Structure 1
Amino acid sequence: MSLSPVELAKKQLDAYNRQDIDAFLSAYSSNVEVREFPSNNLIYSGNDKMREVYTNLFKANPKQHAELKARTAHLNVVIDHELVTGRTNRIDAEAVAMYEIKDGSISKVWFIK
């Protein structure tokens, strides 16, 4: 049974906060695309690159935590607004991510820059 788009967004956020890289990546397609919004510039693609990026992020910020402030879902798109705290640089950050779900996994992510 496939998870709903909202369940996938929750799954990856919960795994992110546990810094469980395998559970985190299991929500994403193997050829996931991570892009900037609104330019749509490709930041990187592929599960292997995502593993590298987030493994390094978790290692550099072991106390980092993303608190969900708001979540909106429509059809196969979920938009999360988060407050990220506990970063090594001690600067809290607001983040907005849009997730497109296709074939039971997150296929594209846009981060608002």
Structure 2
Amino acid sequence: MQQSSPRDVVNRQLAVYNAHDIEGYCALFAPDATISDLVTGQMICNGIEEIRGVYTKRFAENPELHCIVHQRLEGPTHAIDKETVYGLPAGPLHIMAIYEVRDGLIRSLRFIRWTD
């Protein structure tokens, strides 16, 4: 069986994120995956249960939530996206997202975020 590339995994992650499919979203993360803010070092989620809790709430509270990818770079174990997230109360959020993908699962997601 051929391994999924980081691009394939992150493309699937984008599709389920935009569909607000929490089960599909969580299925793409490793059980011990982390999500953090690269600038502040703040841990946003540590493990799949925290990811499930944060994104279940985010999807429920923001029905117009969706992400558009403007650019992507890919290496053997990483995809780096320039994204804009729309549908948040404070307005569009610009993101540089660094996805570490191993064995077909997202192991870490680190953000640099800013608004206009």
TM-score (ref. length: structure 1): 0.90
Unaligned stretches of 5+ residues in structure 2: none
1:32 maps to: 33
* Letter matched to residue 29 of structure 1: A
Is 1:103–2:113 an aligned residue pair? Answer: no
* Letter matched to residue 84 of structure 1: V
Unaligned stretches of 5+ residues in structure 1: none
- Identical-residue share of aligned pairs (%): 29
Aligned pairs, number: 112
TM-score (ref. length: structure 2): 0.88
Is 1:94–2:103 an aligned residue pair? Answer: no
- Where do residues 5-84 of structure 1 align in structure 2 (5 Å cutoff)? 5-84=6-85
What SS does the corresponding residue of 1:91 show, helix, strand or coil? coil
Moved over 3 A (4+): 38-41
Cα deviation for residue 92 of structure 1 reads: 1.1
* Letter matched to residue 20 of structure 1: D
